[in-house]
Structure 1
Amino acid sequence: MSSKILIIGACGQIGTELTTKLRDLHGVNNVIASDINTRNLDLVNSGPFEIIDAKNYNAIHDCCLQNNVKTIYLMAALLSATGEKYPMEAWDLNMNSLFHVLNLAKEKVIDKIFWPSSIAVFGPTTPKINTPQYTICEPTTVYGITKQVGERWCEYYNKKYDVDVRSIRYPGIISHKAMPGGGTTDYAVEIYHEAIKSGTYECFLSEETELPMMFMQDAIKATTELMQTSSENIKVRSAYNLAAISFTPKQVFESIKKYIPDFTISYKPDFRQVIANSWPSSIDDNIARKEWDWQHDFDLDKMTREMIDNLQKLVCKVDLG
């Protein structure tokens, strides 16, 4: 039996598109998607799918043994805004799921792990401009705490047990294919949907809040390239800084207006503003660019064109039935 890839949390914002890309690269039958629900019917019906709770070690273990899974992408997590509402649930899911896959690699059941970290590991004491790879990390959210601790455990398992675990500190991710799942950067997806749907948007962050962002195609590209890189080139076993573009709600609004001139915006910052204020405005990812040749493809205007073109096609498709 050929070795397989398992994606845990495949129905999430990143997991959905990652599954498609990995199936293109490795073959549909070699990539098993899994989640706790089957609501994403397009994904469920597009290839092998298992219902797996990321907190259930036995379910993950059995799936790996039965299908000869040798690589796991652990994409399940409770994100920043949702994590503040349910802190213990966030800790339970985010930490225990990581321990499960790290221990499977320690026990030689699997060979390789991808686990996403986040810019949420940074905090108000972190340098905000061109945040370096190695810097102060004092996160102020439950999500950020779980990611910071997770980074330390990844590095520990690599050094102590030679576990091949790889990670990226994702910035805010923007996609037209899947809605976000409770993060502080969600506005940057919602704003495009509302521009098409209603022509107006009420933003939950202030107009000058600058945050690191990335178009989904760049995030998927970075993830697959990191996993395809030779192990000896991976020097950072906590998580790599990753960057593409940084912008404010005002700047993305102005980019959208180039294509939808009547679009309007208002601002009503909520609890997520405090979270955003604790995060960097730009990231230095030179180490990733040097060690595994990372390069992003999308700037703000190129991303806006892609988002609007695809969302308008989706609206037309819905209208036509």
Structure 2
Amino acid sequence: MRVSDLGEFGLIEYLRERFSLQEVGDDTACVELGSEKILLTCDSLLEGRHFLLSYPMSSVGWKGVSATVSDIVANGGRPLYLLITLLLPDVEIKKIEELYEGMTKACEFYGARIVGGNIVKSQNFGIDLFGLGVAKRFVGRGSAKVGDGVFVSGTLGDSRAGLELLLMEKRQYEDFELRLIERHLRPTARIDYVGHISKYANASMDISDGLASDIRHMAKRSGLSFQISKEKLPISRELYEFAKRHGKDPYVYALKGGEDYQLLFTHSPEKVNPFLDMSQIGWVREGEGVFLDGEPLEELGFDHFRS
């Protein structure tokens, strides 16, 4: 048996069961030190898999920090510190400076600090990030309750469209296309939701591998059925325009597109905050599985070993 036979998430489940790693399963690990709830997480961006050397390195740095912070935020925490491992071929120092400009600006935005790390020679350029945060209440992906509404923040599918536009390598992009590209290169972790998630959410995670993939993980960990509606999926004007121009279905992007770093969470429908850009896309019910307009949701989304 090879890793590709299991896939990324199958491998996680295999290791959990094989080595009794029952605390593994959320994007952050919550450990208690005295009265403090400490959230620990790690993430990686690798050249050729997550970015190209032609990308602005400051955007790669921003995105790496945002991806790490997003995991902490999704579980109800505030980011504090990061450790950075650099995986380096013999690149120009300027690229590393630009990378750190992006990372330090992102840290300033999120209220976190880089406090150390490591450097290793590598054939491919990459960064490995370890993040530490604190939470008043840990909110994992496996605690949804029957009767909860299913909510997402922001809009979905923009990052995937932005990536496709980048790969077109057009000589000139229109304004709406540049906005989609920006959402791929420089996503913003939803730190404005920390208070809401910490206070009201029963289950929460970020959308990094695509809604169709991530909601399946939440439903499985919660042991419940998630019923969502296609017409409720929040889609930006820019994605609608992109889909119209290129003959695409924007809902496929909303379901399958990864790296939006929006939040997927559940709580009582009465807890809606009108000052946040949250949309209710469905309900949590008794049973198992995820259903889109009453039909089983097709397995979509990103898997490192099957995508």
User: How would you bin the TM-score normalised by the shorter chain?
Assistant: under 0.3
Q: As a proportion of its length, which structure holds more helix?
A: 1
Q: As a proportion of its length, which structure holds more strand?
A: 2
Does 1 or 2 have the higher relative contact order (CA < 8 Å, sep 6+)?
2
TM-score (norm 2): 0.25
TM-score (norm 1): 0.25
